[in-house]
């Protein structure tokens, strides 16, 4: 009985997966540390209009490169692709020490977006391949913890460090983390583990079983893009302390939620988690509209974070379960594209609405935009029903 139990529940952690955690942390810190700082940097440089543009350029470039990264992985393998991604994510941040024009912000954001795309798609496919099938939800929850904790700390610490030590300190740390992570690559598998056959991504985009979870997730990440880009600008003066606290609570709640629902989803079904995740995300985003109430804003950030965390784990686990290992890079590309395209739409699209009606109505409109995701959840439940 003991031997059987061990076979049914194989160990999640392996030396290669633990080593992979280093590059996960490096990528997460480099992505999140400057994310809420760049709008402030653009504003301080007299380029207020570039606040959302830099974030949008980062995320659009990320999406574009995520969609071609599976082919790169097939050509050069996990290790080389991940190395290229880490370098492009980190090194360009140093250029901002000497170049701060709007053109610089956009150009560097594009290059870093490409690096982030390569690192998360190549790294994500590798990570999934290193986790036992029967414990994938739980394993990805642990991976979410490893990537989420740096996000929890880096997002508010970036804002704090920029105010305390200057923008340059943020950009130096942004560069160092992924560059240092390069030393771990020799210990990771070199092979691609995926097919190089043409049309893999096109087939994935036509697969309703992959696209429904991806679109549900994208609805929530649109709100995340609005939160990180415009909450620092919406709240100031005596209430400015609310921003770093909210930017801490949101990813902290997401990370905790991912860890809490990982095993539950493996046992009860990941699809059952989609509805609660969407509802909590909508409620949290609506609460952020009360920008003059610190308690409501912090409660909203926490609630939204819980909903987003549930959706992060449930959607990616569902998608990996619906393909074989040769298509893991395709799943990683689609899921990460949904993440980043949603954030880009939030960062850039809502900017026009903010200028027209203000921050609070724009936050409420963002919550309303997520409502159609509930129709996709209903369809998912019908299709998944026995």
CB 35 within 8 A of CB 113: no
CB 21 within 8 A of CB 12: no
CA dist 256 and 312 (Å) reads 12
Model confidence pLDDT, tens digit, residues 262-278:
878 777 778 889 999 99
What crossing angle do the helices spanning 373-384 and 208-234 adopt, rounded to 10°?
150
Q: Check if the beta carbon of residue 310 is closer than 8 Å to that of residue 148.
A: no
3 has pLDDT over 70:
no
Residue ranges of domains in the chain, CATH in brackets: 12-384 (1.20.1250.20)
Answer yes or no: is pLDDT of 374 > 50. Answer: yes
Mean pLDDT within 196-216: 81
Stretch among 78-82, 253-257, 265-269 having the lowest mean pLDDT: 265-269
CB 199 within 8 A of CB 326: no
The tokens of 303 are what?
A: 């609630």
Coil/strand/helix, residue 236: coil
* CA-atom Rg of the chain in angstroms: 20
pLDDT band at residue 5, thresholds of 50, 70 and 90?
A: very low
Give the residue-averaged pLDDT of 23-38.
Answer: 91
Token pair, residue 171, equals 């950009």
Residue 216: predicted pLDDT: 96
Name the pLDDT band for 192 (thresholds 50, 70, 90): low
Q: If you average pLDDT over each of 10-14, 257-261, 374-378, which comes out highest?
A: 374-378
Average pLDDT estimate for 144-159: 84
Q: Residue 34 contacts by C-beta under 8 Å, 6 or more apart in sequence?
A: 41, 93, 158, 170, 171, 174
Q: Residue 4 pLDDT > 50, yes or no?
A: no
Q: Tokens for 306, please give them.
A: 């819980």
Q: What percent of the chain has pLDDT over 70?
A: 92
pLDDT tens column, 62-72:
888 988 888 88
Q: Give the whole-angstrom CA distance, residue 163 versus residue 149.
A: 22
CA distance 175 to 87: 9
Mean pLDDT for 378-386 is 74
Q: Model confidence at 9, in pLDDT bands (50, 70, 90)?
A: low
Q: What one-character DSSP code corresponds to residue 235?
A: S
Q: What is the DSSP letter of 101?
A: S
Nearest to 142 by CA among 24, 29, 221, 247: 24
- C-alpha 235/C-alpha 301 separation (Å) is 13
| 213-221 mean pLDDT | 95
* Confidence tier at 128 by pLDDT (50, 70, 90): confident
pLDDT in tens, 106-121: 889 999 999 999 998 9
Residue 125 has pLDDT above 60, yes or no: yes
In contact, 243 and 294? CB cutoff 8 Å: no
Distance (Å, whole) CA 94 – CA 137: 37
Question: What local confidence, expressed as pLDDT, does residue 51 receive?
Answer: 62
pTM: 0.79
Residue 375 has pLDDT above 80, yes or no: yes
Q: What does pLDDT average to over the chain? A: 86
pLDDT of residue 199: 57
Q: Which two tokens stand for residue 91?
A: 């090194």
Q: Residue 385: is it exposed, middle or buried by C-beta count within 10 angstroms (0-12/13-18/19+)?
A: exposed
Tokens 């724009």 belong to 362
Instruction: Evaluate if residue 2 carries a pLDDT over 70.
Output: no
**Cα–Cα distance between 315 and 134 in angstroms, integer?**
16
| Region of poorest pLDDT, from 134-143, 219-228, 302-311, 347-356 | 347-356
């Amino acid at each position: 009985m003991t031997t059987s139990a061990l076979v049914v529940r194989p160990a999640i952690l392996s030396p290669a997966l633990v080593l992979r955690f280093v590059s996960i942390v490096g990528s997460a810190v480099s992505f999140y540390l400057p994310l809420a700082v760049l709008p402030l940097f653009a504003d301080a440089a007299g380029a207020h209009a570039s606040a959302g543009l830099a974030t949008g350029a980062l995320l659009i470039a990320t999406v574009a490169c995520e969609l071609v990264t599976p082919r790169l992985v097939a050509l050069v393998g996990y290790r080389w692709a991940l190395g290229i991604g880490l370098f492009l994510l980190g090194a360009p941040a140093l250029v901002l020490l000497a170049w701060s024009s709007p053109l610089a912000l956009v150009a560097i954001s594009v290059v870093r977006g490409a690096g982030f795309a390569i690192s998360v798609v190549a790294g994500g496919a590798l990570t999934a391949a290193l986790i036992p099938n029967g414990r994938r939800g739980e394993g990805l929850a642990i991976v979410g913890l490893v990537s989420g904790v740096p996000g929890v700390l880096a997002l508010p610490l970036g804002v704090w460090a920029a105010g305390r030590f200057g923008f340059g300190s943020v950009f130096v740390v942004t560069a160092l983390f992924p560059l240092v992570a390069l030393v771990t690559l020799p210990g990771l598998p070199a092979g691609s583990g995926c097919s190089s056959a043409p049309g893999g991504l096109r087939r994935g985009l036509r697969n309703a079983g992959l696209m429904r979870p991806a679109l549900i997730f994208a609805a929530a990440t649109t709100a995340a893009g609005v939160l990180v880009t415009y909450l620092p600008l919406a709240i100031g003066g005596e209430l400015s302390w609310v921003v770093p606290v909210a930017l801490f609570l949101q990813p902290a709640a997401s990370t905790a939620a991912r860890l809490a629902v990982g095993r539950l989803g493996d046992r009860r079904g990941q699809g059952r988690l989609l509805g609660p995740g969407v509802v909590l995300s909508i409620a949290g985003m609506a609460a952020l509209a009360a920008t003059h109430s610190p308690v409501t804003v912090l409660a909203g950030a926490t609630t939204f974070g819980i909903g987003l965390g549930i959706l992060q784990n449930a959607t990616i686990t569902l998608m990996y379960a619906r393909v074989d290992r040769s298509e893991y890079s395709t799943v990683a590309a689609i899921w990460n594209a949904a993440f980043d395209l949603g954030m880009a739409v939030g960062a850039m699209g809502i900017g026009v609405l903010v200028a027209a009606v203000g921050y609070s109505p724009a936050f409420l409109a963002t919550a309303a935009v997520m409502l159609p995701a509930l129709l996709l959840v209903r369809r998912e439940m019908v299709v998944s029903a026995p």
